[in-house]
Structure 1
Amino acid sequence: MKLIVVSAGLNSPSATRLLADRLTAATLRGADAEPEVIELRDLATEIAQHLVTGFPPARLAAALDAVAAADGLIAVTPVFAASYSGLFKSFFDLIDKDALTGKPVLLGATGGTARHSLVTEHALRPLFTHLRALTLPTAVYAASQDWGQEGLAQRILRAGAELARFMTPPTHDTTPTHDTTPDLGTAPDLGTAAAIAPRSPTGAITSVDPAGGFEVVPFAQRLAALSVD
């Protein structure tokens, strides 16, 4: 399986890349996948060229193809003006409209203050919902004061476990749990047979034969037996 990690951090090193790396490590604890990190800061010029010309340079085309072919995606952005960064949005504007359909995506964001902790819900989740991706229930926001705190570590582990679970294909046990082969040698239960006794195409009512079969009795004969002289 292929795990693609998109980091939109602008510095090197950056808190955004640190969060992306920790989310990747948490995911790999439960999924046997090959990770690949795409640093958008290295593709900024190519992204701008593609937006202007409509043609992606080779490195950007490879990155877009990798995202489309991924079995799972981790997308992490720094917060600018209470939303995702322009570089992050520009990259995903170039993704084919069907490339992320049904793909599990783990959302992450970093910021200087806890006041922006809902950016994953009011900005990131709507963006990936529009792209028809499967956004995981747990998104991770890391403010500056969160690093080293147990709460952030727990959220990272929970989010990684969710992505690993959605990336791992389910195993189906084809061994039957009980014998479903009908027993053709056993006489039918008369109570059941009577309950499901069919009607003939002419409207005749069938009754159960004690010998083990069905006896067709014409409707007119049944009606005559009920009539009073």
Structure 2
Amino acid sequence: MGKMELFDLEKHFAFYGAYHSNPVNIFIHTLFVWPIFFTSLVLFFFTPSLCHLGPFAFCPFKCGQGLAVNFGFFFALIYALFYICLDKKAGSLAALLCFICWVSSNFLGRYLGFSLAWKVVLAAQLICWTGQFIGHGVFEKRAPALLDNLVQAFLMAPFFVLLEVSFCNPLTNLRMMSLELKIKLHMLSSFFILQALQSLFGYEPYPGFHASVKAKIDAEIKEWQDKKQKKIS
């Protein structure tokens, strides 16, 4: 992937959107993606620290040593910078959420201690990953994006969920949930959700973003359908 493609929001969103066009699957990912990110940071809190920021007297937890600058910090930093490069407005919000997750994971990790934290993280990860695989297998009826591009899928998942939530029109979602889950609706659902933010708030990363993403998602799904049909025949 070239430098320009690395920060191509349309390409990333279309790739991830092609695997998450079913409204039920999108809802499942909305519930479970950010908890996976957060609990990963809780586990990363126990990696060796370069230094500590703080301490903070206002903290109600056991955070007298302050915030640990360790692998978890750089993990969150990479995500935050990547999202800002993709889109300054939505990316800044995503970066703020990454920072909040990192700070909260420090407090929670120190409060729980490793002996309890790893059990909480394991349970959360199992629940969240199981839910997502059910979403793909039962509702989307397509393998997860991570099986085709692991790095892209992991990087885009939290940002995709944030955009979907930001773009969401509840009335539109209720109508879509009541319709048959056919492939044509799968192709259109992400476009409708994206259109909601534009119509309600007038926001679009840049002019023509929604139309371009819809075209790319349609092409991605058609290519997948063709490959699936060839395997069957």
Asked if TM exceeds 0.5, the reply is: no
TM-score, scaled to structure 2: 0.25
**Larger relative strand fraction:** 1
Higher relative contact order (CA 8 A, sep 6+): 2
TM-score (norm 1): 0.25
User: If you compute each CA radius of gyration, which structure gives the higher value, 1 or 2?
Assistant: 1
